[in-house]
Amino acid sequence: MLKAPHRWLMTQTNAAMTKATFEPAPPSPTEVLVEIAGCGVCHTDLGYLYDGVRTTHELPLALGHEISGRVIETGEKSKAWRDKSVIIPAVIPCGICDLCQRGKATICRDQMMPGYDIHGGFATHITVPTHGLCEVDEKRLAKAGLELADVSIVADALTTPYQAAIQAGIGPGDLAIVVGIGGVGGYAAQIAGALGATVIAIDIDDAKLATIAQHGVAKTFNATEISGRELKKEIRAFAAARGLRATEWTIFECSGSTAGQQTAFGLLVHGATLCVVGFTMDKTELRLSNLMAFHARALGNWGCPPDLYPAALDMVFDGRVQILPFIERHPLDDINEIFEAVHGHELQRRAILVPA
């Protein structure tokens, strides 16, 4: 018998979430029941609660898609997952459609996202398909000085920029520029560096820039102090001084803001790749002909294929990407206070909500 499973429900926009007990759905043959260890608070969750971004599941709905936990019950065909520690993909593809079979899982039309299509991770338990589950080696987890809750953020904040970097083809000798260094951007910077690139970080928060400078970033810029043509000129000078190419920069837009998008687009050079990672409902005005003139490309990044999760997790276990300096744990029952703090930009680190 499970001990009082409960979840926190969004009932309407701009309203406090409410706690409710529930009976977890028994796993089907290809599903498992996971006891949640932790769930990260993502910028997208704020969009649902505060900005009116629609979910496919009708309200009330438990949000949360960065989930780690332990399998406690399994379906008939899923017994091998019993008692395993896992990370649940933020976007779960079906695994059987034509798109999935052709390696295009991120655009699977039958994909499922916790906290959007089904009840999510701001809860004690969740029932999910086994397809895409990423096993967490508890010995390596302990050796890295981490708890299972800590790696919940791998499900989105880390794997999404990892997918972006792999899709862009980042490698040694490249110049990577990350716009917006909080949350996803901090991992984008570390991942690009781990793949061999020289990394520049741009943000409007000096504290965040100072933190990421301790984790492999070669140069930082505060966009409130330098922007537009002067920023691009400074980056060109930096690249020249380091013997890096003046062409083919890879630019990660991770801020999810109009200003960040405009900054990122303004940094296009010949052969550049613009990776759109951050999300915003706001519109921006851009001259798309710049893509033509620079023979550049812009790539969207919706989640990460589950088959890339193990390699991303290896980066954490091997110490190439640090997560502890960028996270903080809080009790799940403090969810409303934590959401307000994140929404008000009061936290410097990504919040992980942990069930009692």
Q: Could you read off the pLDDT tens digit of each residue along the chain, which spans 356 residues?
A: 466 899 999 999 999 999 999 999 899 999 999 999 999 999 999 999 999 999 999 999 999 999 999 999 999 999 999 999 999 999 999 999 999 999 999 999 999 999 999 999 999 999 999 999 999 999 999 999 999 999 999 999 999 999 999 999 999 999 999 999 988 999 999 999 999 999 999 999 999 999 999 999 999 999 999 989 999 999 999 999 999 999 999 999 999 999 999 999 999 999 999 999 999 889 999 999 999 999 999 999 999 999 999 999 999 999 999 999 999 999 999 999 999 999 999 998 999 999 98
Question: H-type helices in the chain, by residue range?
Answer: 43-51, 98-101, 138-143, 159-168, 184-194, 206-212, 228-241, 258-266, 289-293, 309-317, 335-343
Alpha-carbon dihedral of residues 272, 273, 275, 280, nearest 10 degrees?
50
Backbone angles phi, psi at 173, to 5 degrees: 90, -10
Q: Are the CB atoms for 339 and 353 separated by under 8 Å?
A: no
Residue 248 · residue 284 · CB < 8 Å: no
Question: Across the strands, what pairs with 203?
Answer: 222
- Cα–Cα nearest to 329, from 310, 307, 354, 308: 354
User: CB of 160 within 8 A of CB of 91?
Assistant: no
| Identity of residue 121 | G
d(CA 75, CA 26): 8
Residue 186 in tokens: 């901090």
At residue 3, the pLDDT reads 66
From CA 273, how far away is CA 255, in angstroms rounded? 17
**Alpha-carbon gap, residue 109 to 302, rounded angstroms:** 13
pTM of structure: 0.95
Q: List, by residue range, all CATH 3.40.50.720 domains of the chain.
A: 159-300
Residue range(s) of every CATH 3.90.180.10 domain in the chain: 6-156+304-354
CATH among 3.40.50.720, 1.20.59.10, 3.20.20.140, 3.30.565.10 for 159-300: 3.40.50.720
Pick 6-156+304-354's CATH classification: 3.50.50.60, 3.90.180.10, 2.60.40.10, 3.20.20.70: 3.90.180.10
Find residue 20's DSSP bridge partners: 7
Partners of 6 in beta bridges = 21
For tokens 């050796």, what's the residue?
Answer: 143
DSSP per-residue string spanning 20-72: EE--PPPP-TTEEEEEEEEEE--HHHHHHHHH----SSPSSB----EEEEEEE
pLDDT value at position 2? 62
Evaluate whether 200 touches 238 at the Cβ level (below 8 Å).
yes
Tell me phi and psi for residue 149, to 5 degrees: -60, -35
C-alpha 90/C-alpha 305 separation (Å) is 10
**Is the preceding peptide bond at 60 cis, omega within 30 degrees of 0?**
yes
DSSP states along 167-198: HHT--TT-EEEEE--STHHHHHHHHHHHTT-E
Tokens of 318: 């091997």
Q: Sheet containing 198-203: give its strands across.
A: 219-222, 198-203, 175-179, 250-253, 273-276, 297-300
